[in-house]
Structure 1
Amino acid sequence: MTDADLALAMTEAIETHALPVLRRIVSLDDYLAFVSRHYFRHKLFDWPHVKIVIEVALGNLDAARALRDENVDRFRDDPAYDEEGRAKYQRIRELCARLEADDRSGLAALLHEWEAITVKNLKIETLWEPTPFPPELEA
Structure 2
Amino acid sequence: DEHGGGAFQWASSESERRKLWAARHGTYYASLALRPGSKGIVTDTVVPISRLAEAMTATAADVERCGVVGPIFGHAGDGNFHCILLVKEDDPPEYVALLEGINERLITRTLAMGGTCTGEHGVGIGKKKYLEREKGEGAV
Q: Which has the larger radius of gyration?
A: 1
State if a TM-score over 0.5 links the two structures: no
Could you say which structure has the higher strand fraction? 2
Bigger relative contact order, structure 1 or 2 (CA pairs below 8 A, ≥6 apart): 2
TM-score bracket for the superposition, by shorter chain length: under 0.3
